[in-house]
Structure formats: C-alpha cells, structure tokens
C-alpha cells in the first residue's frame, strides 16, 4: 500500500527531522482550553474503546487519516519521539490516540497498523461518521473532505495538525500546535505527569 511504502522509505528520516526540529524549537506554550471533560466511545482492534478507561493516564489525541501524505506522519513521529524520551515508569502513565477522520476507508485494524509504525503506545481508533463528529465537536475540530482530480485516492482531508492534551482526570487542558517541536510536547507531558504526584 502507498502509506506502507511511504513510511518504510521515509519514516526514519521523519523521526530524525522531528527530533532535530524539536531541539531547535522547544517551546512550552500551549493554547489552553476551558478544561472540558472528555468522554466518548469509538472502535479499536479490541472492540469498543471507552475514553473513561484511560482515567489516571495522560492522553494525547491526534486526528487524521492513514492516507495523509504529510501532516499525519510528521505529527505521529513527533508523538513517538516524545514518548521515546520518557522512562519506563513514565511511559506506563501515558497513551496517545490516533483518531481517523476517514472512517469509510480507515477500519480500526488499518488505523492501528498505521499507528504501530510510530509507537506501541499509540491506539488507533475509528467508528461511524457520526461517532467521529461527536468526538471532534468536543475539541472544536473542523475538517473537510476535498476532491482531488489528479490523486489516486480521489480526495484528501483538510484537518488541523494540533496534538490535544488530556490530563489524568479526563480533562482537556490544551494543545500543542504545529510550530511547537518535540521539546514542547515532551515538556507538557512531563508537567502533566508531575501534577499527579
């Protein structure tokens, strides 16, 4: 498949690029939310996934799709790199969710297989279009499917590149934007973990 060959040929380059970018751009600023409690149910490879089951863990959420040519692999590589900087005790307290915006093509199995290329602590999730819209509305996410005449896929999906942060109580506390590097993401994870001690 296209995305498999893309990741195998360029995945290492992306990780190196993201790590270097993070070192140069280790800002700690995030856009804070109004502390909204998150709750939803989607489908994973293990069946129904309930967000409440991650209470007690710091959770990162990223929304995209497996055929995404640039934003998604870069953002997931950023998440993977930030997870790799954590020690064994810390990594047990953190999870990331990769939620597809293309449920017609992205089954839970396809999304999980894609997520596994970046880090085993990233859970791939799918569902119905209505399920996805219910989740995106909680984060104020706007996305749009656009037809692309010269694309083999026939369309692309315009979507934000932000990584959303949820604390151990299940509260949406902010997001790391595209211009923030791995250092900023790692610092926010560490701060959220420290706040639980």
- Position 19 scores a pLDDT of 40
- Position 153 scores a pLDDT of 67
Domain count, the chain: 1
DSSP class of residue 153?
S
- Position 151 scores a pLDDT of 62
Q: β-strands 122-125, 94-100: how paired?
A: parallel
SS3 content of the chain, % helix, strand, coil (to 5): 40, 25, 35
- Position 77 scores a pLDDT of 95
Helix axes 182-194, 2-24, angle to 10 degrees: 80
Tens digit of pLDDT at every position of the chain (197 positions): 444 444 444 444 444 344 434 433 333 333 444 567 889 999 999 999 999 999 999 999 999 999 888 889 999 999 999 999 999 999 999 999 999 999 999 999 999 999 999 999 999 999 999 999 999 998 888 888 876 666 666 777 878 889 999 999 999 999 998 778 899 999 999 999 998 76
- Position 197 scores a pLDDT of 64
Sign for the pseudo-dihedral over CA of 132, 134, 140, 143: positive
- Position 179 scores a pLDDT of 73
CA distance 155 to 51: 30
Q: Helix, strand or coil for residue 156?
A: strand
| Number of C-beta neighbours around residue 168 at 10 A | 17
Q: Helix, strand or coil for residue 169?
A: coil
Q: pLDDT (tens digit, 9 = 90+) per residue, 165-181?
A: 999 999 999 999 877 88
CA distance 133 to 101: 9
Give residue 24's domain range: 2-194
Check: pTM over 0.85? Answer yes or no: no
Residue 129 sits in a domain of what CATH number? 3.40.30.10
């Amino acid at each position: 498949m296209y995305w498999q060959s893309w990741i195998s040929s360029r995945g290492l380059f992306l990780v190196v690029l993201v790590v270097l970018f993070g070192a140069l751009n280790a800002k700690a600023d995030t856009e804070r939310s109004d502390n909204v409690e998150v709750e939803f149910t989607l489908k994973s490879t293990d069946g129904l996934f309930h967000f409440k089951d991650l209470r007690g863990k710091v959770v990162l959420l990223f929304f995209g799709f497996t055929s995404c040519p640039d934003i998604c692999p870069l953002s997931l590589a950023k998440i993977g790199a930030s997870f790799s900087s954590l020690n064994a005790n810390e990594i047990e307290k953190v999870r990331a969710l990769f939620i597809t915006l293309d449920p017609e093509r992205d089954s839970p199995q396809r999304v999980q297989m894609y997520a596994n290329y970046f880090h085993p602590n990233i859970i791939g999730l799918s569902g119905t279009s209505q399920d996805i819209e219910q989740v995106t509305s909680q984060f104020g996410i706007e996305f749009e499917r656009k037809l692309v005449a010269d694309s083999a896929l026939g369309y692309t999906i315009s979507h934000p590149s932000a990584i959303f942060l949820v604390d151990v109580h299940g509260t949406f506390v902010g997001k790391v934007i595209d211009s923030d590097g791995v250092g900023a993401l790692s610092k926010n994870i560490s701060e959220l973990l420290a706040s639980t001690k």
